[in-house]
Structure formats: structure tokens, C-alpha cells
Amino acid sequence: MLRKNKENLPDTVKTGKKKKKVPLIIGGVVVAIIAVSFAASKMTPKALPQVPVSAVTKEDLTAKVDTSGTVESLRTKTYFSPVNAAIAQYPLKVGEVVKRGDSLVAFDVSTLEQDNQKAQLNVSATVNGSKDSMAKAAQTQQKANEAAG
């Protein structure tokens, strides 16, 4: 049996035009408020920032700047050692002031002295060997001349 009267239905089942209209009206009001606030923000001119102004006067200006850092030269120079030796001393520290005549680096030359002595002995042995060979060649040539002669 179907009921034809809405009055006899419980409140949860009742469907009416009033309940459908309320959300639509609220939604319309929200959209209208948003549209009006957007249009009002676009129509109002933007305020310019206020700039403080003072009279022109002649004064001395003093500026003090505290800073720290590393100063580097625009020009750099690379130095090469005339000898191939290990560094024995490097007496300077980073940032230390260097004066003319200060020692910048010291090399361990003990092995270089030994190598120099060996090279001198090799040179004298080669020179003496060459002289001996030339003397022997001269004797052989003289014997050959005497035999041919």
C-alpha cells in the first residue's frame, strides 16, 4: 500500500522543495560574495608606497665597515727549483708577512751532494777512459806506420 500523503511520512523520508532550495540559496550567496569581493579588489586603485622626504643639507658622511677575509693577489707567480730535491723546511705560515731576504723554502740536498760526487767520478772515469783509448789508438797507428814503412 502506497501512501499518497507526505504528512504521514517520517521526517527522514520527506522530500520537499524547501530542502532543495536552501543549499542552492547558500551556494548562490557565497558565489555572489566572492564575485563582489573580487570585483572590488580589481576596481580599487593600488595605493602608492609612502616615501619619507627630508630637506637637502650639506653634511660629511662617515661610513665604517668591519669585515674579515683573505686578500689574494691578482698576479701569481710559480717558481721552479733548479734541483730536484725534497723540501726540508717551509718556515712560513699562511697569511704571514714576507720581507726581502726572508727564506721561503729550504731543500734537503744531502742526496744531491752524493749524486753530484757520483756524476763527477763518472765524468772523470769517462775522460780518463777516452784519453787511454786515444793513447792506445795512437800507439796502434804508430806501429802500423812503422810496419808499413
| Average pLDDT of every residue of the chain | 81
Strand, coil or helix: 92: coil
3-state secondary structure 45-56: CCCCCCCCCCCC
**E-strand stretches of the chain:** 86-89, 106-108
- Say what the pTM is: 0.29
In the predicted structure, residue 8 carries a pLDDT above the cut 70: no
Residue ranges per structural domain of the chain: 112-149
Could you tell me which of 84, 101, 85, 102 has the C-alpha nearest to residue 93?
102
Chain segment 37-70, per-residue pLDDT in tens = 888 777 777 777 888 888 888 888 888 989 888 8
In the predicted structure, residue 136 carries a pLDDT above the cut 80: yes
